[in-house]
C-alpha cells in the first residue's frame, strides 16, 4: 500500500513487480495484476484505466 501512496502516477503491474523485487516474468506480472483487481472491489486501489492502479485520494 505504501508503494501506491508514494507513487506520483498510477502503477502498472510490471512496475509493482520491479519495486517489490519480484521476478519480472509474465507469470509474476499476471499474478501481480490480479491482486489489485481483487482489491478494487474494496476501494483500494482504484483502477484509473485498464491495468493502471492508484490510490483513491490525492
What is the rounded CA–CA span in Å between residue 53 and residue 28? 16
CB atoms within 10 A of CB 53: 26
- Does residue 54 have a pLDDT over 80? yes
pTM summary value:
0.69
Task: Name the CATH code of domain 2-54 (choices 3.40.91, 3.40.50, 1.10.10, 1.20.1530).
Answer: 1.10.10
**pLDDT, tens only, 25-48:** 999 889 888 888 888 888 788 888
Q: Where is average pLDDT lowest: 3-7, 21-25, 29-33, 45-49? A: 3-7
Mean of per-residue pLDDT scores for the chain: 84
Q: In the chain, where are the structural domains located? A: 2-54
19, containing H or E segment:
helix 13-19
Share of the chain above pLDDT 90, in %: 3
Amino acid at each position: 500500500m505504501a508503494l501506491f501512496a508514494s507513487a506520483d502516477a498510477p502503477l502498472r503491474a510490471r512496475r509493482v513487480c520491479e519495486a517489490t523485487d519480484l521476478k519480472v516474468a509474465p507469470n509474476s506480472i499476471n499474478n501481480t495484476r490480479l491482486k489489485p483487481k481483487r482489491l478494487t472491489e474494496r476501494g483500494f486501489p482504484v483502477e484509473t484505466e485498464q491495468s493502471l492502479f492508484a490510490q483513491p485520494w490525492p
